[in-house]
Structure 1
Amino acid sequence: MNAFPKIRLMLAAAALMVASATASIAQTAPQKIGYTNVDYVLSKMPESKQVESQLKDYSTQLENQLKAKYTEFQTKGEAYQKGASTMTDVVRADKEKELQNLQQSIQEFQRNADASIQQKQQTLLKPVLDKLQKTIDQVADENGYAYVFNSDAGYGTTPILLHGPKDGDISDLVLKKMGIDPNAAPAAAAPAAAKPAAPAAAPAAGKTKTKTKKN
């Protein structure tokens, strides 16, 4: 058998397969794609205001504890300065060690407080984000959206969606699904982790004399 007829048959079969695939794709309806701005929706949710308030209270508690530690350090540092000249070497060394330990405690507390606030924020936000995700799923199913992207660029990240048609934005549909008026004033800014205000830098204890920074 000549090779050319075989090639013709193979090409004909390939053409038939391509034609069938093209017809199948043409019969398939295009998938609907939507997007939402997570920060915008969160700012409208009453829960966000509650999270922001709780996070602020928690941060204030840590800040007060940090100030108390620093006040103790300052008080003992000033007492050490006044009495250092009359202390024995053993007592002086003991006081200096105590001040060094207090200083390290303040620094460690500051580091732990920052991590603790981040963890607290995640804990408080989880049920809010879970509710938002559930509502997005419901709106997507009810309106035939196969995919929903996030157009928000919060937390220093690049948004997943860089461009899209206005009618693809389901943010207001999500808010209405939760019973929230999209035109109402924002309940709160998107909750962000706060950090306890650090007091002035703690003075370091020297071997024979400790200088205390006065505010």
Structure 2
Amino acid sequence: MSKRITAIILFLSVFALQDAMAQVKIGYTNPARVLSQLPEVEEVDEQINTLIDQRDEELAAKATDLQQIFSNYESSMANLSQQERAVKEQELMEMNQEFEQDRETMMNEIRQKRNELMAPIIEKMNAAMEEVAQEMDLDLVLNEGTSYGDAIIFFAENEGLDITDKIIAKLK
């Protein structure tokens, strides 16, 4: 008898869970597509490209200086003692490491600046997504990808659940 009661409870639980799942309203969006439609993102891209150009010029000048120092060393290497060469090579390695650190610092600065400039735009997009979700009485909104276009495993058979265009309209 207890097995029969357990089976009935299990059956009712599955039925109740199925009923609860049927009531969840889901939509999805593509944040990269939303961002591609916003003029503010284009402005951020222009600012970042300007910053990249400036930093590239600085790094190019340092690279040219480093190359000249290396060429001078190579031409004078025959006139140096073993100890002088070891000291000069150590200096060159340190200069090269400093150059690589400058390059890494530049890349981090650019990433940080882009994140800083994009943060209010992404907040605005998220607020619009929340408004659309509330207007449509959605319980859950999924993303096809990240705000920066990184892929997420995603499948939706019903394109009617795509709220991307509604979010874009809300932002314009």
TM-score when normalising by structure 2: 0.76
CA distance in 2, matches of 1:98, 1:91: 11
In structure 2, give the amino acid aligned to 1:144. D
Partner of 1:40: 33
Is residue 2:97 matched to residue 1:108? Answer: no
Give the share of equivalent positions with the same residue, in percent.
29
CA distance in 1, matches of 2:91, 2:131: 60
Partner of 1:139: 132
Partner of 2:59: 66
Number of positions where the alignment pairs a residue of Structure 1 with one of Structure 2: 172
The Cα offsets for residues 110-146 of structure 1, whole Å up to 9 and x where unpaired, read as 3333333332332222111111101100111112111
Residue 100 of structure 1: how far off its partner (Å): 2.4
1:90–1:141 Cα change, 3 Å = same
Is residue 2:112 matched to residue 1:119? Answer: yes
5+ residue gaps, structure 1: 1-7, 180-215
**Going by fraction, where is helix more abundant, 1 or 2?**
2
Residue 149 of structure 1: how far off its partner (Å): 0.7
User: Which structure has the larger Rg?
Assistant: 1
The 10-residue stretch of structure 1 (139-148 or 81-90) with the greater mean CA deviation from structure 2: 81-90
Residue 171 of structure 1: how far off its partner (Å): 0.8
The 10-residue stretch of structure 1 (141-150 or 103-112) with the greater mean CA deviation from structure 2: 103-112
1:68–1:111 Cα change, 3 Å = same
5+ residue gaps, structure 2: none
1:170–1:55 Cα change, 3 Å = same
Tell whether the 8 Å contact from 1:73 to 1:102 is kept in structure 2 after alignment. Answer: yes
1:85–1:41 Cα change, 3 Å = same
Residue 84 of structure 1: how far off its partner (Å): 4.0
SS of 1:148's equivalent? Answer: strand
Is residue 2:141 matched to residue 1:148? Answer: yes
CA distance in 2, matches of 1:94, 1:15: 84
